[in-house]
Amino acid sequence: MAFCGSCGAQLEGNERFCRSCGHDLSAAGAPASAPVAAAAPVAAAPFVPPPAAPFAAPPPQFYSAPGQIPIVTMPQEVPKHHAWVWWVLIIAGVLYGLYYIGTHDQNQTQPGPNPTQPGTSPQTQPGTAPQPGGPNASLAQQQLFTSQWRVANGDVQLYNQVWKNRSNVAIQSSDLECDQADQNGAVLSQQHITLTDKSGGSVGPEVTVTFDPLDIGQAVQGMAKVNCGIVGVTPAQ
């Protein structure tokens, strides 16, 4: 920007004479430029640190309750060289249990020796079956009684009982004697049971009668055998 050297008026830069004072600008040379004032020193702004970012919350920490320290225990693996010992013990226990159950049940329900084998007469086994007696002993000897026995819940039970009248006389009833004996044959207990036909009638010649299982009393201590036989009969009228 140019100014008149005489009056200081602002010039456009292409005038020969100053419009304000008429000063010959060509004689004086190029219009003087306005002095440029020195820039005032700018005071430095005080340093203001940027606001600190808020600290992130620390991750939650999980603590055990005071006095309770969790202890993680790993299951101990059984050494392989000892595994076979456990299998042997398990198998032995199972076998013993089966043996005990089998022997226990056998002692409770095992059929005892049959004193009168099917198809044979008690009289052919002297000293085994009770012997007939009384006024009708001859008729009683012609009666065939067969059975088996077992101990169930502490009682002696007869089963598979068969009575056959092999005489030529109708029999109204018969007296069955059952003796509990020890291993040597000594009688420990004796029971008598009256046998009749289920219909209430007489048992004719060569007629066979069967019976349901029958309890004949508690097994006595030391009993090893049960011998049964017909010892008397009552002929039909």
User: What 3-state DSSP class applies to 32?
Assistant: strand
Residue 106 belongs to some domain of the structure: no
pLDDT tens figures, 3-38? 777 787 777 777 777 877 877 777 645 444 444 444
Distance CA(80)–CA(207), nearest Å, equals 72
pLDDT digits (tens, 9 = 90+) for 73-85: 555 555 555 677 7
Look at residue 198 and tell me whether its pLDDT is greater than 60: yes
Indicate whether 127 and 222 sit together in one domain.
yes
Q: Note the pLDDT of residue 81.
A: 56
The structure's pTM equals 0.47
Q: Beta partners for 150?
A: 157
Whether residue 225 contacts residue 112, with contact meaning beta carbons closer than 8 Å, is answered with: yes
Q: Return mean pLDDT, the chain.
A: 74
Phi-psi region of 38 (alpha: psi -120 to 50; beta: other; left: phi over 0): beta
Same domain, 229 and 126: yes
Q: Is residue 141 part of a domain?
A: yes
Q: Do 26 and 129 share a domain, yes or no? A: no
Q: Which residue in the block uniquely carries the two structure tokens 């002929």? A: 235
163 Cβ contact list (under 8 Å, min separation 6): 143, 144, 145, 174, 195, 203, 208, 209, 210, 211, 230
Round to whole Å and give the CA distance between 226 and 188.
10
Residue at 82 is within a domain: no
Is 178 part of a structural domain of the chain?
Answer: yes
Asked if the structure places residue 138 within a domain, the reply is: yes
Instruction: Report the alpha-carbon distance of residue 176 to residue 173 in Å, rounded.
Output: 10
| Domain containing residue 176: CATH number | 2.60.40
Question: Could you tell me if residue 183 is inside a domain?
Answer: yes
What confidence tier does 47 reach under pLDDT thresholds 50, 70, 90? low
Total count of domains within the chain: 2
In this predicted structure, the answer to whether residue 180 has a pLDDT above a threshold of 90 is yes
Q: Element (H or E) spanning 139, and its range?
A: helix 137-141
Residue 59 has pLDDT above 90, yes or no: no
Residue 26 lies in a domain: yes
Q: Which residues constitute the domain of residue 14?
A: 1-35
